Structure 1
């Protein structure tokens, strides 16, 4: 059987349009038989009866002849009003205008399913009348069942919910509410809903209650004669509180009666400071990382000035002057906000990196006659590391600033008469690692496939697996380098920070991304900071995560 479009056939021509092409006949309203499928209310008709009494029947009744009898399809209320007026002595209503329903395209396409189509036509014919919430619910659920029945017997175009929305204007959300009311509302309250004494918003909220609480709602209704949304929502809150749903706040929880017992376990101050930093918000961390001491102190005193935490993970008390770890315990330790800010900045603030040899020089300039081969190397004997820091960051072609005739601000200022070519007078203080820098390949294990940001962060934090590039024992710094296939390299600069009264000795590292392709911009902002040469300020972990994400697209 070919598919037919139910909503298209019903909407192509409305009932009034079809009636214009039909001949009007007059029938006694008492001879017309109401359809058994009609569920619309035919009791509260006083206003309609008065209108018919004054103006007459403005729209003919739609009837259907079956087995020699006339059945009403649309116009049950008008028929009843005319019978009442006729009983009151108004003989002019002994004959009312009617039109016979003609065979529709829908019936022709549906074949033998006349009963289903007839019920659909009754609902469609009543789409223009004023209806109560119960009638709207009933016609929607009835239409849904009829469409499903017809779909089982004849192929149809479109989804059921789309047909319902187009035919009677019921959305998917409203259909869900109708189902909840029809399934869950108790019989007593459903009767009140049908009589339009309970509105649909209240009926829907009642449908969320179990039988016990719906019984309480019935008792409230009998006492007050009305049910409000606040009444039902109050019962719902009580119901949910009894369930003990995780995350559901009860009165006891809201007032702190169910607060878990405090844990006064003593925790070393050094450990608490680390955990305290981890618990701070993003803005606080930014001030600490940027070494903004004034803002760090201000934020600490404002956010934690009255804080009291005792949860087994942290144990501290904040005041306007500072913070006390393990208050009232043996290992009580008090710090002012200034002291705490200094410790946090010292531990987590960005350290200024030392100057070092550029690692990404695309081309080596031609040597001058007075230039000594090799890296930037101090030939005065004054540099403890053996490297001329000024020449390493200078654009000139000299390996030592003592060779340069320019008297610039970055020049070291050591006496030139002490400067000698490195080839003639070896520098005993020059360490061997300088020769190793140029030969170190910076290669490590193949870059693993990383599927999420957590894996990328883990790879960055395990920089030691890249392999040691070189070590400057004079200043206690180790450098690790990873070379990427796109020409970029990532350098990890590792320091050993000495222990303090509050902090044990620990390692810290700063990552520098050098070279490679320039990043794409999003909203005018590059995804990471690009440096063609080594730059003294490190890249953030967030930037490097974006770089790795772009690398493995």
Structure 2
């Protein structure tokens, strides 16, 4: 009958005695440790346990058994040792330790009879290992556990028929793999006693111990000397010793020269060879790992590898003639041209000859900005081109400048940019390629503005000639906010060809996001496009910066995103109208190439005029207007869902209340839910640099109840319209549910 090892250990039973459950107190110096216990009781490792016992006492009884009238410890060797240490330190209260008698025997009902008690003795060894299974162990203790367990299992096989292979039972008992068991065997057989003792004392880890087993006896002694010298030995150092050993090792099965030729090896050649030639040949003979260190210019590692690999090496073959020593390498020994070079000098020489030089980083010299391009102060004269640029800048841009500001403008058929620097407060001008054109000091610019612009403007009656010049902040505050819809109307009136080009884009693309991106790519592909005429200008910049529309005569400015421009244009015009069809003439000429300035307003059609007259009424009727509602877009992510919500103007205006400046838009879903958006005019702002949009609020009305997650609804449900809006996050969750077909 085959037996399972785990069942044999678990089926042992305690002997029924009177005092098996009674706690007794025994002198710690009279207790004998078990001979089967191999775990360390080193006092240095027991300091933590000793301090714990000093504070809280012995929390668990020591298990002992009576063997020939003496008490032998089964479990509790460390606790007993700590109490002995405390008594030696003067704590007599720990002389008596709480113990329990116990004895475990085989269960003869389930296991075979063991007359000689050999099986019981072997299982007791495993019992000690199992009793210490959860303690903190060193690598040496783990190795002893595995080797003893393997030995016990092999002995049990001779006595009992066990199930499974030895390695599988070791792995099932301790969790030790077959590979790890092979490492333990190699360390047990090949490691020298001195290094084994250091491994037992946890001074060397298992990885280093395994590598040390690949060294022969002499090189293990060399490793021990290195360990004693430095107080430690690392894995790279052991691998270097292995390379040194391989350098001088005879390959197994390799024929000697005498065996091949049938003659003895010829005598060594002591020919004197030039040292520089030998250094070159020495580098060629080095192993790849050493040459890589030299080529990487790793000086310290090169010195270490050369001194380790070639210490004691003697070569005399007519090609090289040197002797490796502890302090260096001796070329042409025992000759008149004998020369000793230290390992450091040899490494430095090889690095200088064969080390790969790193590419030097060339630092660009700092250029004085005043010398790079002209710098105009109060007494310097502008060149003709610079004077034209400054004139247009003063007329169109200077009034909007402030410290740190950057503005773009058009002059002489090209685009320029002006920046007012923060520290110097002067002005820097750039061309369309980013190159600097000139510098102008602050005082010079104020003087030119006073002479060229302010003198041409009539002084108001209350202004005296000797009053101070108007500050930039007062000039900036004089600009007023321009409503986006009014600014867009004026833009389309002045530039009808631009309107046609944008409408063609709106025909081609159906989503507003795609329309806006294509609009920016066509009219501002390089991040900037501007036109100005008769005090009116527009500027198309990068997609994130948006569009700026200005009226210098009315001191109005409107900034908006590309999507906002598309929405306003779609609300004002029908992209599919025949008036925006391209003719042969318009196809040959683009607005960006030949801008139309100062054009008269186009005649408004009868239908649009009729709509305009209807819009003059104070309040729309609050009845619903029939709009052909477009089907819901297929939205793949939350960004597209948010973009659809923010493009609510495409749904069509439902009704408007001009008393309070409120406009309402709606969208009806197939499940009966209605989404209502109320929009209000923006608040007036004093400064022109900030352009707020309309404020709007979204209300989800009716429809089925929302789904719940952890008893919390995914959006707020309103059976009828009220003043409390839904957040954009709630509406995104609602759109997700709509698309998934849940609602």
* TM-score range for the pair, normalised by the shorter chain length: 0.3 to 0.5
TM-score by length of 2: 0.31
TM-score by length of 1: 0.41
Which structure has the bigger radius of gyration?
Answer: 2
Between 1 and 2, higher relative CO (CA 8 Å, sep ≥ 6) is seen in: 1
